[in-house]
Chains A and B, each alone.
Chain A
Amino acid sequence: MKENILIIGGGAAGMEAATQLQKMGLTPIIIEKSEALGGHIAQWDRLFPAFHPAKDVVEKMLGQVKDVKTYLNTEVVDIQKDNNGFHAVLSNNETIDAKAVILATGFDIFKAERKQEYGYGIYNNVMTSVELEKFFRTGKDERINNPKKIGFVHCVGARDVKVCNTYCSKVCCTTALKQACEIKEMFPDADVYTFYMDLRMFGPGYEDLYLKTQKDFDVKCVRGRVCEVSEDMDGKLVIKAEDTLFGKPLKMTLDVLVLMCAMEKNKSIDAIQQKLGIANNNDGFMQNSDMYLGMNNTAQDGVFVAGACTAPKSLPDTIGEARSVATQVYNYINR
């Protein structure tokens, strides 16, 4: 039973699905458009809620897929389905025949410059959560120069009708608190503020992180969305927000403002998705056939989905879905 299973995307979902399928005796083939496996998680420094090094997880996953046939710097440019299964043409002109396809194409980060009122790309000291994480990983960022006051803005590009993203991006709340603790750890004399609407601490240990953020790290959580950012003569950022618990508008000068950017669907796969006849859901992510029992299935027989291509997801969510998609594919092959 050496059936080929085509996995598009070599991030956490793709790698974990491949690992499980290989153990089941099938032949997964990973197509990754970038130069390395690992996806977004490989760009991350530490994971919430317990500050676990992301590298540990990524290296374990990479070790598990070392024997899986993998194409890097490669995209699927065309795909056909007939009675024998799927036939995919790759950007290197190779053709792959497979019995089933798993879309594990994940997410993109919301482009922060679309929320112009936050001044990303206009003011030097406004940065994204992804850039801050890169600073934690590399220790290099000119904007972070012994800051005394740092602010975090939640829900940038999420829960926002104006940018057509009405959904909650799920992981940014916990990430913001994690990053707030980390920056406070580096600069203990700094004042760290987070501007939130709700703090959605949905997972095990996440509420403990919230308590730790308040008690041990003295991070100040202000309930209210930052409405505008400007720059003063010294190049510092002046922000306005309402403290909605206090019922009064606030004005504050900050050295650095971090925007917690939402997840959006990775659109680089749209052409292939269309060819396979899979629609988008209301949030612009891929539509699976059922929220509960068909989360890995799609309108197309033999095409499966896993991970953040269907909605914003945390790493444990994604790994869980990748494992369940392997079972679904196994059952499909043996039907």
Chain B
Amino acid sequence: MDFGFCLSPSSHVKMDSVDLTTFNRLKETNPDVNTCIACGSCTATCTAGNFTEMSFRRMLLMLQRGKEDEAKKMIQRCMLCGKCTLVCPRGINIRKILLDITR
């Protein structure tokens, strides 16, 4: 029934109940995921990111904040060109991580 109004859900990320299964699994094979310093180089150089919402930095955070579905949806924009891996100052093997998430 539509009363013409609704309650907005809280926008808080509830860290106590966030499911980190995917991120923790990823961390086992790619300890690099911890070392991101959020510089944004990957996003700035991203070919797909120029035209879509694709941002690897943000995608990693999504996994850590319980937004796994959104993260996996975002990854579909990636064309695996690997420019992000070239520019990352922490030497994170981003291309491999992206492949491992979808695997």
Instruction: Tell me, rounded to whole Å, the shortest Cβ–Cβ distance linking B33 to chain A.
Output: 9
Tell which of A218, A246, A251, A253 touches B58, judged by Cβ atoms closer than 8 Å: A246
Tell which of B31, B34, B65 touches A243, judged by Cβ atoms closer than 8 Å: B65
Task: Please judge, given known A-B contacts A243-B61, A243-B65, whether A251 and B34 are in contact too, CB under 8 Å.
Answer: no
Query: Are B65 and A215 in contact, with the CB atoms below 8 A?
Result: no
Instruction: Tell me, rounded to whole Å, the shortest Cβ–Cβ distance linking B24 to chain A.
Output: 10
Query: Are B31 and A246 in contact, with the CB atoms below 8 A?
Result: no
Instruction: Tell me, rounded to whole Å, the shortest Cβ–Cβ distance linking A82 to chain B.
Output: 58
Instruction: Tell me, rounded to whole Å, the shortest Cβ–Cβ distance linking A178 to chain B.
Output: 17
CA distance A220 to B61 in the complex (A): 11
Chain A binding surface SS class: strand
CA distance A223 to B13 in the complex (A): 14
Tell which of B11, B15, B62, B90 touches A252, judged by Cβ atoms closer than 8 Å: B15
Instruction: Tell me, rounded to whole Å, the shortest Cβ–Cβ distance linking B34 to chain A.
Output: 5
CA distance A211 to B34 in the complex (A): 9
Q: Write the chain B residue with the least CB distance to A218.
A: B34
Query: Are B38 and A249 in contact, with the CB atoms below 8 A?
Result: no
CA distance A248 to B11 in the complex (A): 7
Query: Are A214 and B34 in contact, with the CB atoms below 8 A?
Result: yes
CA distance A112 to B64 in the complex (A): 31
**Those of B1-52 within 8 Å (CB) of chain A:** 11-16, 27, 31-32, 34-35, 38
Encoded as 1 (CB less than 8 Å from any B CB) or 0, chain A from 34 to 69 comes to 000000000000000000000000000000000000
CA distance A245 to B38 in the complex (A): 8
**Which residues of the other chain, B, contact A122 by a CB distance below 8 angstroms?**
none
**Which residues of the other chain, A, contact B32 by a CB distance below 8 angstroms?**
215
Tell which of A211, A246, A248, A252 touches B16, judged by Cβ atoms closer than 8 Å: A252
**Which residues of the other chain, A, contact B13 by a CB distance below 8 angstroms?**
243, 246, 248-251
Query: Are A251 and B14 in contact, with the CB atoms below 8 A?
Result: yes
CA distance A211 to B13 in the complex (A): 26
Encoded as 1 (CB less than 8 Å from any A CB) or 0, chain B from 83 to 94 comes to 000000010000
**Those of B61-84 within 8 Å (CB) of chain A:** 61-62, 64-65
CA distance A149 to B58 in the complex (A): 24
Size bin of chain A's contact surface: 10 to 19
**Which residues of the other chain, B, contact A252 by a CB distance below 8 angstroms?**
15-16
Instruction: Tell me, rounded to whole Å, the shortest Cβ–Cβ distance linking B23 to chain A.
Output: 11
**Which residues of the other chain, A, contact B58 by a CB distance below 8 angstroms?**
245-246
**Which residues of the other chain, A, contact B35 by a CB distance below 8 angstroms?**
211, 214-215
**Which residues of the other chain, A, contact B31 by a CB distance below 8 angstroms?**
215
**Which residues of the other chain, B, contact A249 by a CB distance below 8 angstroms?**
11-13
Instruction: Tell me, rounded to whole Å, the shortest Cβ–Cβ distance linking A268 to chain B.
Output: 40
**Which residues of the other chain, B, contact A251 by a CB distance below 8 angstroms?**
12-16
CA distance A143 to B58 in the complex (A): 35
Instruction: Tell me, rounded to whole Å, the shortest Cβ–Cβ distance linking A293 to chain B.
Output: 36
Q: Write the chain B residue with the least CB distance to A210.
A: B37
Task: Please judge, given known A-B contacts A243-B65, A245-B61, whether A250 and B12 are in contact too, CB under 8 Å.
Answer: yes
Instruction: Tell me, rounded to whole Å, the shortest Cβ–Cβ distance linking B29 to chain A.
Output: 14
Task: Please judge, given known A-B contacts A214-B34, A252-B16, A253-B16, whether A246 and B11 are in contact too, CB under 8 Å.
Answer: no
Instruction: Tell me, rounded to whole Å, the shortest Cβ–Cβ distance linking B100 to chain A.
Output: 17
**Which residues of the other chain, B, contact A214 by a CB distance below 8 angstroms?**
34-35
- 8 CB < 8 A contacts A-B: A214-B35, A215-B31, A223-B38, A245-B57, A246-B61, A249-B12, A250-B13, A250-B15
A interface residues with partner B (beta carbon < 8 Å): 211, 214-215, 218, 220, 223, 240, 243, 245-246, 248-253
Q: A249-B12, A251-B12 are in contact. List 10 more A-B contacts (CB 8 A).
A: A214-B34, A215-B34, A220-B64, A243-B13, A243-B61, A243-B65, A248-B11, A248-B13, A252-B15, A253-B15
Pairs of residues from A and B, 5 with the lowest C-beta to C-beta distance, nearest first: A252-B15, A251-B12, A214-B34, A246-B61, A214-B35
